[in-house]
Amino acid sequence: MSAIVSVENVVKEYPLGKLKVRALDGVTLSFGEGEFAAIAAPSGAGKTTLLNLIGCVDVPTSGVVRIDGQATSELDDAGLTRLRLHKLGFIFQSFNLITVLDVYQNVEFPLLLQGGMTKKERDRRVREIVEQVGLDKQMRHRPNELSGGQRQRVAIARALVTRPRIVLADEPTANLDSATGQNIIGLMKEINRKNRTTFIFSTHDPMVMSQAERVIRMADGRIVGEERRAAEGAA
């Protein structure tokens, strides 16, 4: 199985005054197409840092991150932006919807950034995905009129509308109650099965972890273990 994401001996240091904080300390990893993987670790272990590097919003201090074969450190800001726009989808811990836009417009937003699509085609895609996350009744609502779970569904729709190869989610359930969290992970998993979209998400919630096919354990910026289990049927 060819890796769609590969992380090779990556080190990431943050300056902290005169010192340096080593957030990632030689991480090597790869993800195949269609995986549904969880990065499980306690707070401060480096989950967000790792996802940032994979998500091309940051570049490693040393080592290589490849997305679909392309090393991110070789790209400039415009190149990274293009990569994010076309190959990646993001689901944020705090949903990060654009507050001034309604559900439909939030979801449509990445398609508009991509351009090159007829209005009709775009409309079809937006409605399809919004239906899929079950928000067709809230199409014209603004984010502040939605519950947390609904907001995260919008975020999922927004991440998926461009049909990215990889969706990254940094603790997507951290701001949700556990039932809603389960629900969201369920939705992600369903889409993963249907579209073969690679999902990489971080969590420190065992309930969430249990949904993953692959669980990568981290501590202090290192990979400390990994479990795989066969795709389950109904949980």
Partner 1 sequence: MESLRILLLMAFRSLGGHKIKGLIVGSLLAFGTFLFVLGTTLLESVERAMEASITRSITGHIQLVSARAVDRLTFFGPEASSDQDIGVLPDFSRVREVASKIPGVAAVIPMGRYYGQPILNTELDEAIEALEEAFAEGDPAVIEDRIGKVRRMAARLKEDYLRAAALAADDEEHEKAIAALDRVTSEEFWTSLRHAPEEGLQFLAFEIAKLSDDESMLYLPFIGTDLHRYAESFVHFEMVEGEMPPPGTRGILISQAAYDQFFKNRPARVLDLLHEAKTLDGRRIADDAALQDLVSRLKEMTAQVTMHLSPRAATELDAKLRERFPKVEGDLDARLAAFFEVDDENFAERYEFFQKEVVPHIPLYRVPVGGTFTLRSMTKSGYPKAVNVRLWGTFRFKSLERSELASAYSLIDLASFRDLLGLMTAEKRRELDSIREEVEVSEIDPNDVEAFLFGEAPVIEEGGEADLDLDARLAALDRPTDEDSDTFDPAEIEKGTILHAAVVLHDPGKLREVMARLQEAFDREGLEVKPLAWSEVTGIIGQLVVVLRAVLYVLIGIIFVVALVIINNSMVMATMDRIGEIGTMRAIGARRGFVLALFLLETLVLGFFASALGALAASALLALLGQTGIHTHQPFLIFLFGGTALYPAIDLANVVWSFAVIVVISVISTFYPARLAARVPPVVAMQGKE
**Contacts with ligand ADP in 27-86 (CB under 6 A)?**
41, 43-49
Nearest to 3 by CA among 232, 198, 222, 201: 198
Q: Is 21 in the site for ligand ADP (CB under 6 A)?
A: yes
| Interface residue with Mg ion, options 23, 37, 48, 103 (CB under 5 A) | 48
Query: Cα 29 from chain centroid?
Result: 16
Q: Which stretch binds partner 1 (CB under 8 A): 81-89, 176-184, 186-194, 208-216?
A: 81-89
Does position 165 interact with ligand ADP (CB under 6 A)? The reply is: no
- In 46-100, alpha helices (H): 47-54, 77-87
Least Cβ distance, residue 38 to partner 1 (angstroms)? 17
Please give the radius of gyration of the chain, using alpha carbons only, rounded to the nearest integer: 17
Stretch that binds partner 1, among 22-30, 45-53, 125-133, 223-231 (CB under 8 A): 45-53
Q: What DSSP state is assigned to residue 174?
A: T
Dihedral of alpha carbons 191, 195, 201, 205, sign: positive
Contact letters for partner 1, residues 153-192 (x by CB under 8 A):
-----xx--x-------x----x-----------------
Which residue of 7, 45, 48, 172 would you call a contact of partner 1, by CB under 8 A? 48
The span from the CA of 75 to the CA of 81, in Å, is 9
Q: Report in angstroms how near the CB of residue 140 gets to partner 1 at its nearest.
A: 13
Q: How far is the CB of 231 from partner 1 (least distance, A)?
A: 29
Tell me: does residue 203 bind ligand ADP (CB under 6 A): no
**Stretch of 20-28, 114-122, 123-131, 183-191 lying at the interface with partner 1 (CB under 8 A):** 114-122
Distances from the Cα of 166 to the Cαs of 28, 90, 222, in angstroms?
Answer: 18, 9, 22
Distances (CA, A) of 212 to 16, 166, 228: 34, 15, 8
For 140, the token pair is 């014209």
Q: How far is the CB of 98 from ligand ADP (least distance, A)?
A: 23
| Residue 70 interacts with partner 1 (CB under 8 A): yes or no | no
Question: How far is Cα 197 from Cα 190, in angstroms, rounded to an integer?
Answer: 10
Q: Which residues bind Mg ion (CB under 5 A)?
A: 48
